[in-house]
Amino acid sequence: QSVLTQPPSLSGAPGQRVTISCKGNSSNIGAGFDVHWYQQIPGTAPKLLIYGNNNRPSGVPERFSGSKSGTSASLAITGLQAEDEADYYCHSYDTSQDLFGTGTRVTVL
């Protein structure tokens, strides 16, 4: 079964840039399917952060940006803030099913 692989954890100081990778394969991201990103504060539901690879819903700060290349995608947080401490998940489509990434816990030092 296909998996979208993310680093389990990342950390950065306030103001730094953090990049979260999401590695797929030729049957999901590499097949051209869009990638979406969600932020989840522990104890709450996931919140859509990026849709369609690089689009931000209204209300999402500009410091969040998404990109996709080949079989991988990335979420960048530029100018890390304390409130960005959360879990982040990528999401795409594979053969007949939607897939979520393994999740990345971002810690603000």
Residues of this chain that bind another protein (CB under 8 A): 34, 36, 38, 44-48, 50-53, 55, 57, 89, 91, 93, 96-100, 102-103
Closer CB to another protein, 23 or 36, in the complex: 36
Look up residue 40 and give its two tokens.
Answer: 């989840």
User: Residue 72 CB, nearest distance to another protein (Å)?
Assistant: 18
Give the Cα separation of 52 and 26 in Å (integer).
18
- Report the DSSP pairing between strands 104-108 and 9-12: parallel
Q: Which is nearer to another protein, 38 or 80 (by Cβ)?
A: 38
- Shortest Å, Cβ 55 to another protein: 7
| Phi-psi sector, 31: left (phi>0), alpha (psi -120 to 50), beta | alpha
Please, which residue, 13 or 43, has the CB nearer to another protein? 43
d(CA 52, CA 107): 26
- Least distance in angstroms from the C-beta of 15 to another protein: 28
